[in-house]
C-alpha cells in the first residue's frame, strides 16, 4: 500500500520536472532568438563591439550557422583593427587570436596577427632601450604565450642584461672613488645598454681624463711597470666574468672567480688589479 501511495507523488514530480524542462527550453529558445536579432541589428549598425559580445554569447549556446559565424568573424576583424588604431593593442591581439582559432579564419588573419605581435614586441624592446624596463616587461606580458612562445625567455634576457649593466655602472662608480682608473675604464667600456651608457657618460669623461693624465706621466694601464700585465687570455677572462655575473655574482667576485678558473690569482699593481698565473 505504501508503494501505491508513492506513485501519485512520483507522477506529479515527473510532470513538474517535465514542465520545468519545457519552460527552460522555451526560455533558451527565446534568448537565442533575441540574441540573433541583436546580432543582425549590430551588424547593420556597424556596432562591432556589441556584435562581438552578442555573437560570442550566442556561440556558447549553440553551434553558429554559417551566416552568423561569418558575421561574428567580420565584427572581430573590424573591432580588432579599431582597437589597434586606438592603441588598445592587447584587446586587438586577443580578438585576432580568437578569430584565427575559428573556422572562419583566412590566411590574411594569421598574417595580420603576426605583424601586430612583431610590432608590439618591437615597441617593448624600444621601451627597454630607452631605459623603461618595467614598461617593456608589462608590454611583453600582454602577449600570450601562443602569440609569442619566447616571451618569458625574452623578458628574462632583458632583465639579465639590465642588471648586468646596472652592476657594471655601480662597479665603475666604486672604482672611480678608489681612483682605480684603468679598471674603471675597462668596466665602463663593458656597458652595452644605450640608457646605461648615457647615465655613465659624466663619470666616463672623468675616467678618460684621469687615464690620459696617467699616460702623459708615463704610467700605462698596468701602473708603474709596463711589464706587469694580465698573462691569462683576456677574451676568455672577460667571457667567464660575464657568465658569472649573469648567474648572480657581483662584478668583483665574478672577476676573481674567472681568474681562478684560468689558473690565475688577482694581484694589485698600482692603480689596477690584474689576473696573473
Cα–Cα distance for residue pair 270/229, rounded to 1 Å:
11
Q: How far is CA 136 from CA 114, 155, 164, 271, in A?
A: 19, 8, 17, 39
Q: How far is CA 240 from CA 156, 221, 236, 249, in A?
A: 20, 22, 6, 11
Give yes or no: residues 64 and 188 share one domain.
no
Is the confidence at residue 6, as pLDDT, over 80? no
Is the confidence at residue 202, as pLDDT, over 90? yes
pLDDT bucket at 148, cuts 50 / 70 / 90: very high
pTM above 0.75, yes or no: no
Is 110 a member of any domain?
yes
Q: How many domains, in total, are found in the chain? A: 2
Give yes or no: residues 19 and 74 share one domain.
yes
Cα–Cα distance for residue pair 3/5, rounded to 1 Å:
5
Give yes or no: residues 141 and 213 share one domain.
no
Is 129 a member of any domain?
yes
pLDDT at 270: 46
The single-letter DSSP state of residue 192 is -
Give yes or no: residues 122 and 61 share one domain.
yes
Is the confidence at residue 18, as pLDDT, over 70? no
Task: Give 158-191 pLDDT, tens digit per residue.
Answer: 999 999 999 999 999 999 898 888 888 888 988 9
Q: Are 228 and 274 in contact (CB under 8 A)?
A: yes
Is 154 a member of any domain?
no
Task: Give 31-71 pLDDT, tens digit per residue.
Answer: 566 777 777 777 777 888 888 888 888 888 777 788 888 88
Is 19 a member of any domain?
yes
Give the bridge partners for 266, in sequence order.
275
Is 156 a member of any domain?
no
Is 155 a member of any domain?
no
Give yes or no: residues 112 and 49 share one domain.
yes
Range of the domain at 177: 163-276
Q: Are 161 and 173 in contact (CB under 8 A)?
A: no
Could you identify the residue written with the cell 507523488? 9
Give yes or no: residues 139 and 169 share one domain.
no
Give yes or no: residues 32 and 78 share one domain.
yes
Task: Give 73-93 pLDDT, tens digit per residue.
Answer: 999 999 999 999 999 999 999
Task: Give 90-106 pLDDT, tens digit per residue.
Answer: 999 999 999 999 999 99
Give yes or no: residues 70 and 41 share one domain.
yes
Give yes or no: residues 136 and 183 share one domain.
no
Give the bridge partners for 275, in sequence order.
266
pLDDT at 11: 59
Domain boundary pick from 114, 149, 184: 149
pLDDT at 61: 79
Amino acid at each position: 500500500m505504501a508503494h501505491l501511495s508513492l506513485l501519485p507523488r512520483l507522477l506529479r514530480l515527473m510532470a513538474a520536472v517535465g514542465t520545468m524542462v519545457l519552460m527552460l527550453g522555451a526560455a533558451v529558445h527565446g534568448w537565442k532568438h533575441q540574441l540573433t536579432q541583436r546580432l543582425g541589428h549590430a551588424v547593420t549598425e556597424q556596432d562591432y563591439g556589441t556584435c562581438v559580445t552578442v555573437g560570442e554569447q550566442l556561440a556558447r549556446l549553440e553551434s553558429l550557422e554559417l551566416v552568423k559565424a561569418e558575421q561574428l568573424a567580420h565584427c572581430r576583424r573590424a573591432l580588432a583593427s579599431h582597437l589597434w588604431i586606438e592603441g588598445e593593442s592587447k584587446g586587438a591581439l586577443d580578438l585576432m587570436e580568437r578569430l584565427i582559432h575559428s573556422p572562419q579564419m583566412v590566411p590574411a588573419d594569421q598574417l595580420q596577427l603576426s605583424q601586430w605581435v612583431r610590432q608590439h614586441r618591437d615597441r617593448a624592446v624600444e621601451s627597454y632601450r630607452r631605459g623603461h624596463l618595467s614598461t617593456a616587461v608589462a608590454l611583453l606580458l600582454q602577449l600570450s604565450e601562443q602569440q609569442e612562445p619566447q616571451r618569458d625567455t625574452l623578458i628574462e634576457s632583458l632583465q639579465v642584461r639590465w642588471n648586468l649593466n646596472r652592476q657594471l655602472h655601480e662597479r665603475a662608480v666604486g672604482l672611480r672613488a678608489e681612483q682605480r682608473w684603468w679598471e674603471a675604464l675597462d668596466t665602463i667600456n663593458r656597458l652595452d645598454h644605450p640608457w646605461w651608457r648615457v647615465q655613465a657618460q659624466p663619470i666616463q669623461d672623468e675616467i678618460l681624463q684621469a687615464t690620459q693624465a696617467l699616460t702623459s706621466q708615463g704610467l700605462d694601464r698596468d701602473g708603474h711597470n709596463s711589464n706587469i700585465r694580465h698573462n691569462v687570455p683576456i677574451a676568455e677572462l672577460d667571457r667567464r666574468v660575464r657568465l658569472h655575473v649573469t648567474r648572480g655574482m657581483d662584478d668583483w667576485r665574478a672577476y676573481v672567480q674567472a681568474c681562478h678558473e684560468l689558473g690565475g690569482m688577482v694581484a694589485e699593481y698600482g692603480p689596477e688589479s690584474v689576473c696573473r698565473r
